[in-house]
A and B are shown apart, each in its own frame.
Chain A
């Protein structure tokens, strides 16, 4: 195979979602930056985010960033680092305004300011009532963020390498020298030689069977870093969003409940009143997902099946508004205007008209709280002692700052990616100003090219989709909303077998070069397998229940022993070494979490 082409930049950013493009805008102010993405930037999954971006603008009622911070910490089940949460919630206000200045078409309220809506876990800390904090553009807020950032990148002439897939990080001891990528169009390998590298590649929801995540969310950036010795933080915490479309997993935004929608079980009961008496359907996602599981387990799913109803019909919503003493009332037109995409999804995929009938929903694998460990400047950490790997950055879902702890609040993913994407860009620009471009090692692409040749030419009998199905089934059965030791042990065993089968028996039909998505899917499966294994290994070791990690055999939170972040480091024999780092506390002392 021909020698890879070498490109030289100050900084390369891998991934063109919200975090990557925000970083590009800032790093690009002084550094020569390339953004490499396996998709056209506007295909990135930031665009699928619906309900809103959280920031205490206080446009409709009293709100303050400290309340947002407390809600985030409480939502995280006290696992978030409180210094990082302060940064998130303070910066949130400025970045939302900045997005508006970049042209983002937020919905407006009567006085012309940005419109805000209620969202799960966001409260007025004095009254404990839901607060209007989620800034939104209808139910396509992520779409508008992605489009606005892409537009501004075009305006600022950012260098994009679209449909180039990054497959390796060039690390020499404790320095980075760039990345290796494949040009998907012709299969050629390229080396991007740089001072700084940033990963902003999103999550890995495709480890599970039912997920809101795009097919492309295969955790490439996290897996690449893990294979190059970077630990993965808090991998046991993976969020299951309570309201995915039944069987399909397509997300139905929490904004539906923010606008007054309620969850109803097979007996016609608004069951969240029992689980979260004060904010009911707007409790944190982990709480609501568990409630749905328990209702189904007790035989109170719809027609005894494993789903419940999400009801946003004006009749139902107004009934509960009245019952709760709320002045607000909604109409069908209001729902159409505020939730047009949701209405379109359910009409298209379910034949259900949400202004007339309830929607069948079940929890769906949604968001990785864990990932590549970073500090608040998005610098990647090498260990639990906070040692930085100079020149390496991560932000967005792939990173773990940690601002989400054991459970992320709705709207905080968008806040996270613009806040920490921006901070990464600023810090990278500074780094590139002073750092030297270190030389490339000999044949930096050799190892990964050999791996691709191996997959391409392997004479096995197992296709990607069969192994992927096996992984998704065991992860769904054994490492999802509720967990118990024996099941997680089974998942670990299954995943070891799947990993072995993948290594020995994987086969692809396409031996060509151009748009060989067969080969790339096979490689991506390898990433998912490694991340699933890290998830199971981290989960079985944590003998408590916290946030999204809920164990039947350890039902209580254990602050004496487990107010710690997990660092899982992949060893050369394929096992994981687990080390722990204490959570950074602050104003908010851990206390029982009641909604």
Chain B
């Protein structure tokens, strides 16, 4: 089948303004991903096209993009999902994720995103000595289940850069940082919930969330992001984890 793909291009070495590149590819298969199509553009038509990608099956988080107006990973979005059933051509539009500075074509500066991530102390804190028998700490299956969903985050930024509250103010820590705070706040082994709650309870924390659910829709790992944010809000409101 034919794919008509429009890609938002930007290369500050060549020109100051962004532009739309339009490409037509023949012999695409319905099971091709958007990443496959972008690779064909880059390899066969224009090698200057810049994008990040690595694993190509949705676990490394490199290739979050805005595809036909919604965030997803290019490698997990099959082109057949973007066209009408039985159609022999598909129109695709690809842009960089919104809210982070664009550096070249589909590549954005991830540093503001990573800074928010780092602000929630995204690491295990427990200064108690480990068990004297030299074995693992114990955790019940029920306690483990409480934060299972938020351990799936791959830091692709699809959620944060789909959030209108984040677009409105980049100081908002954003859904991904809250998801990672949640992962530790609700881990029964961790002892620093209070410090993290102080960070995400701040003016630029969870209260900026207006439960729009864009983040949940955008998450390629199917994390219930809005629910996780709500659980953090409840913990802040009740003081109970």
Bound complex: CA of A44 vs CA of B155, how far in Å? 12
Interface size class of chain B, counting residues whose CB lies under 8 Å from the partner chain = 35 or more
**Inter-subunit contact B147/A45 (CB<8 Å):** no
Which of A109, A144, A248, A517 sits near B151, CB closer than 8 Å? A144
Which residues A101-143 have CB closer than 8 A to chain B? 101-103, 105-114, 137-138, 140, 143
Interface size on A (CB < 8 Å)? 60
Instruction: Tell me the complex Cα distance, A103–B52, Å.
Output: 29
Residues of A within 8 A of B52 (CB): 43
Check A154 against B118 for contact (C-beta < 8 Å): yes
Residue A40 interfacial (CB < 8 Å) = yes
Mark out the residues of chain B between 50 and 94 whose CB falls within 8 Å of any chain A CB in the assembled complex: 50-62, 76, 78
A518 within 8 A of partner (CB): yes
Q: Is the CB of A108 within 8 A of B144?
A: yes
CA distance A34 to B138 in the complex (A): 34
Interface residue B169 (Cβ < 8 Å from any Cβ of A): no
Contact A509 B56 (CB under 8 A): no
Contact B140 A112 (CB under 8 A): yes
Per-position contact with A for B134-164: 1 when CB-CB < 8 Å, else 0?
1111111100100110011111000000000
Residues of A within 8 A of B155 (CB): 40, 42
CB distance from B5 to the nearest CB of A (A): 17
Residues 341-376 of A contacting B (Cβ, < 8 Å): 341, 344-345, 348-349
For the residues of B in contact with A, the DSSP-based class is loop
Cα of A17 to Cα of B69 in the assembled complex, Å: 33
With beta carbons under 8 angstroms apart, the residue of A101, A137, A464 that contacts B130 is A101
Cβ-defined partner of B43 (8 Å) among A102, A113, A465: A465
Q: Report the nearest B residue to A110, measured CB to CB.
A: B141
* Alpha-carbon distance A48/B56, docked complex (angstroms): 10
Asked if A294 lies at the interface with its beta carbon under 8 angstroms from chain B, I say no
Interface set, chain A 58-112, CB cutoff 8 A to B? 94, 96-97, 100-103, 105-112
- Assuming A508-B47, A512-B13, A514-B104, is B144 touching A143 (CB within 8 A)? no
Is A152 close to B, CB under 8 A?
yes
16 inter-chain pairs at a CB distance below 8 angstroms, sorted by A residue, are A39-B54, A39-B60, A47-B59, A103-B123, A103-B126, A103-B184, A106-B136, A108-B140, A112-B138, A155-B125, A344-B58, A463-B43, A509-B48, A510-B47, A512-B11, A515-B107
Given A47-B60, A48-B60, A345-B57, 20 extra CB contacts under 8 A: A42-B61, A43-B54, A47-B59, A97-B135, A102-B124, A103-B126, A105-B147, A110-B141, A113-B135, A113-B136, A140-B152, A154-B118, A155-B123, A155-B125, A215-B54, A248-B57, A348-B78, A514-B50, A515-B104, A515-B105
Residues of B within 8 A of A (CB): 11-14, 31, 42-44, 46-48, 50-62, 76, 78, 103-105, 107, 110, 118, 122-126, 130, 134-141, 144, 147-148, 151-155, 184, 187, 189-190, 222
